[in-house]
């Protein structure tokens, strides 16, 4: 078997693993300071099935491009991943993330590629019609709603692709808890291969108490958030707190919230999510944005790294008032406003660098397994071959050192490298 890593080799982004020119695990893109990077070249038209782990663009963003280039095979994934992928691809098209690089790419390719999606339920075994003897199973990965690790049986071997995975149960999702034996090849993510996370409960408590302080001092709180998963988790947390101020939701997260509400089997506690939705008010027009700041409130809005979207409108209205606070709830990539805010308390708004006068704090609400959980998974599964991907150089190498005794052979492919097993 040949596994070729068309992306996510010693990097995070553009996950796209081709197996024997027959299967594809994910088809993502990578967003960098300098633009968008796609998976390296191969013949997409020969692929028989795409097995899609979850909706994030670093796993789905290249699908419309592959459609444009003639890929016509079924794309197997959960119903939730399909719905979320549609939201994220359409948004990425409208903010011209993809069209900048590929002028040939058309919005129709999003529509067309979605027609090839086929629903898969967790834990059920499916066969691949065009390949005799090949079966696959999607296992809840606990990363975002609908996310899965994938177990593929092919050529008599058991292949486990973790996708992005989180074993810790959060307010929104049950952690991944699958147990597997006889895994011949395990392909694991390694985003946090070199570090763990602080205790979630303590993080939640610190988060709420800082919000309380800011509100009591007469300020409002701006929460830039990723639309899928993070915004819903924060809403549950806020709705369960004793905070009495209005809570507003803006941007793409509203659409995602509605999808989660109508597909409740993909969240851990549907009643908690419904209560959160009752507690929150949606912002529906730019006019509203001005109005809400006349009172002390909490605003959750996209984008999570402050790179665009409605959060920019709020920044403009709030940056000069020391009483307001900006709480970052996720990873802030290099070259993003979020990173700049953390480093210099400043952000680029309409091309001008402006200083945020109020408080800025960052919280680790990560949806990825920390190092101890990544090690624990390899230790339990004890695969014959372990392939580490979806992590930067240091994360991958640190993880490889830690799991040395638990796999016969460990690989850390570069982008475009083929691992032969
Ligand atoms: Zn992800
Ligand atoms: Zn990812």
CATH of the domain at 405: 3.60.15.10
Residue given tokens 């960052």 in the structure block: 362
362, 380, 396 - which closes a domain: 362
318, 336, 362 - which closes a domain: 362
Provide the 3-class DSSP secondary structure of residue 40.
Answer: coil
How many CA within 13 A on the CB side of residue 281?
Answer: 13
Q: How far apart are alpha carbons 43 and 49 in whole angstroms?
A: 13
Q: Compute the distance from residue 252 Cα to the ligand 1 centre, in Å.
A: 17
Q: Compute the distance from residue 27 Cα to the ligand 1 centre, in Å.
A: 12
- Mean pLDDT to the nearest integer, 224-252: 97
Q: In 10 A of CB 296, how many CB atoms?
A: 18
Rounded to two decimals, what is the model's pTM?
Answer: 0.95
Q: Compute the distance from residue 374 Cα to the ligand 2 centre, in Å.
A: 15
pLDDT of 372 higher than 80: yes
Q: In 10 A of CB 133, how many CB atoms?
A: 10
Q: Compute the distance from residue 380 Cα to the ligand 2 centre, in Å.
A: 23
Q: In 10 A of CB 181, how many CB atoms?
A: 8
Residues 57-78 have pLDDT tens digits of: 999 999 999 999 999 999 999 9
pLDDT score, position 95? 66
Q: Compute the distance from residue 143 Cα to the ligand 1 centre, in Å.
A: 7
Q: In 10 A of CB 209, how many CB atoms?
A: 11
- Mean pLDDT to the nearest integer, 235-250: 98
pLDDT score, position 129? 83
- The model's confidence at residue 100, banded by pLDDT at 50, 70 and 90, is low
Q: Are residues 189 and 270 in the same domain?
A: no
pLDDT score, position 96? 56
Overall domain count for the chain: 2
Q: Are residues 67 and 144 in the same domain?
A: yes
Q: Compute the distance from residue 56 Cα to the ligand 1 centre, in Å.
A: 5
Q: What is the DSSP letter of 176?
A: P
Contact predicate 136/150, CB 8 Å:
yes
- Mean pLDDT to the nearest integer, 212-236: 97
Q: Which one has a higher pLDDT value, 32 or 139?
A: 139
Radius of gyration of the chain (CA): 21
How many CA within 13 A on the CB side of residue 16?
Answer: 28
The chain-wide mean pLDDT, for the chain, equals: 94
Residues 6-15 have pLDDT tens digits of: 999 999 999 9
pLDDT of 101 higher than 60: no
Q: Which one has a higher pLDDT value, 370 or 104?
A: 370
Q: Are residues 206 and 321 in the same domain?
A: yes
Calculate the CA dihedral of residues 42, 48, 53, 56 and round it to 10 degrees: 50
Helices and strands per DSSP (H, E), number in the chain: 13, 24
362, 381, 403 - which closes a domain: 362
pLDDT score, position 104? 55
Q: Are residues 335 and 220 in the same domain?
A: yes
Q: Compute the distance from residue 166 Cα to the ligand 1 centre, in Å.
A: 10
Q: Are residues 100 and 164 in the same domain?
A: yes
Ligand located closest to 85 CA: 1
Least confident interval from 106-115, 152-161, 231-240? 106-115
Residues 168-210 have pLDDT tens digits of: 999 999 999 999 999 999 999 999 999 999 999 999 999 999 9
pLDDT score, position 63? 95
pLDDT score, position 182? 97
Q: Are residues 182 and 57 in the same domain?
A: yes
Q: Are residues 291 and 319 in the same domain?
A: yes
Q: Are residues 145 and 23 in the same domain?
A: yes
**Rounded (10°) angle between helices 230-240 and 200-216:** 70
Contact predicate 256/87, CB 8 Å:
yes
- Mean pLDDT to the nearest integer, 242-253: 96
Q: Compute the distance from residue 56 Cα to the ligand 2 centre, in Å.
A: 7
Q: How far apart are alpha carbons 226 and 368 in whole angstroms?
A: 14
Owning domain of residue 288 = 200-362
Q: Compute the distance from residue 189 Cα to the ligand 1 centre, in Å.
A: 10
CATH number, position 246: 3.40.50.10890
pLDDT score, position 99? 47
Ligand located closest to 189 CA: 2
pLDDT score, position 97? 52
Q: What is the DSSP letter of 404?
A: G
- The model's confidence at residue 91, banded by pLDDT at 50, 70 and 90, is confident
Q: How far apart are alpha carbons 365 and 297 in whole angstroms?
A: 21
Q: Which one has a higher pLDDT value, 97 or 131?
A: 131
Q: Compute the distance from residue 50 Cα to the ligand 2 centre, in Å.
A: 16
Q: Are residues 176 and 37 in the same domain?
A: yes
Q: How far apart are alpha carbons 192 and 177 in whole angstroms?
A: 18
- Mean pLDDT to the nearest integer, 110-124: 96
Token readout for 149 is 């690790």
Q: Compute the distance from residue 394 Cα to the ligand 1 centre, in Å.
A: 19
Provide the 3-class DSSP secondary structure of residue 124.
Answer: coil
Q: Are residues 224 and 323 in the same domain?
A: yes
CA nearest neighbour of 16 among 46, 48, 44: 44
Please report, for residues 269, 292, 375, 398, 412, the alpha-carbon distance to residue 383 in angstroms, rounded to integers and kept in the order given: 33, 54, 12, 18, 15
Phi, psi of 411 (to 5 degrees): -125, 145
Instruction: Give percent of the chain above pLDDT 90.
Output: 88
Q: Are residues 218 and 129 in the same domain?
A: no
Q: Are residues 300 and 404 in the same domain?
A: no
- The model's confidence at residue 316, banded by pLDDT at 50, 70 and 90, is very high
pLDDT of 35 higher than 80: no
Contact predicate 60/26, CB 8 Å:
yes
Provide the 3-class DSSP secondary structure of residue 157.
Answer: strand
Ligand located closest to 58 CA: 2
């Amino acid at each position: 078997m040949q596994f070729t890593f068309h992306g996510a080799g010693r990097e995070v982004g553009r996950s796209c693993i081709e197996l024997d020119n027959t299967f594809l695990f994910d088809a993502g893109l990578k967003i960098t300071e300098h633009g968008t990077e796609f998976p390296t070249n191969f013949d997409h038209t020969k692929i028989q099935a795409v097995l899609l782990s979850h909706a994030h663009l670093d796993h789905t963003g290249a699908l419309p491009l592959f459609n444009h280039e003639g890929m016509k095979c079924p794309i197997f994934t959960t119903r939730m991943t399909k719905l979320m992928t549609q939201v994220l691809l359409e948004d990425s098209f409208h903010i011209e993330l993809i069209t900048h690089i590929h002028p040939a790419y058309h919005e129709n390719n999003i529509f067309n590629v979605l027609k090839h999606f086929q629903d898969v339920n967790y834990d059920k075994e499916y066969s691949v019609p065009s390949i005799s003897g090949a079966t696959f199973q999607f296992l809840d990965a606990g990363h975002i709603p609908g996310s899965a690790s994938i177990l593929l049986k092919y050529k008599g071997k058991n292949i486990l692709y973790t996708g992005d995975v989180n074993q810790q149960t959060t307010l929104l999702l049950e952690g991944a808890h699958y147990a597997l034996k006889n895994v011949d090849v395990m392909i694991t993510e390694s985003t946090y291969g070199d570090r763990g996370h602080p205790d979630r409960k303590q993080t939640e408590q610190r988060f709420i108490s800082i919000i309380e302080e800011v509100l009591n001092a007469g300020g409002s709180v701006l929460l830039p958030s990723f639309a899928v998963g993070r915004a819903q988790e924060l809403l549950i947390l806020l709705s369960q707190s004793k905070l009495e101020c209005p809570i507003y939701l803006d941007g793409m997260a509203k659409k995602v919230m509605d999808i989660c509400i109508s597909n409740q089997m993909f969240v851990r506690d549907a009643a908690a999510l419904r209560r959160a939705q009752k507690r929150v008010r949606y912002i529906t027009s730019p006019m509203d944005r001005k109005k809400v700041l006349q009172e002390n409130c909490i605003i959750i809005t996209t984008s999570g790294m402050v790179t665009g979207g409605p959060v920019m409108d709020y920044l403009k209205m709030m940056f000069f008032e020391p009483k307001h606070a900006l709480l970052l709830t996720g990873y802030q990539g290099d070259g993003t406003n979020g990173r700049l805010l953390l480093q210099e308390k400043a952000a680029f708004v309409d091309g001008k660098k402006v200083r945020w006068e109020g408080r800025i704090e960052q919280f680790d609400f990560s949806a990825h397994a920390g190092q101890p959980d990544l090690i624990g998974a390899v230790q339990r599964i004890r695969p014959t071959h372990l392939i580490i991907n979806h992590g930067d150089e240091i994360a991958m190498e640190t993880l490889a050192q830690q799991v040395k005794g638990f796999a016969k052979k460990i690989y850390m492919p570069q982008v475009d490298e083929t691992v032969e097993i």
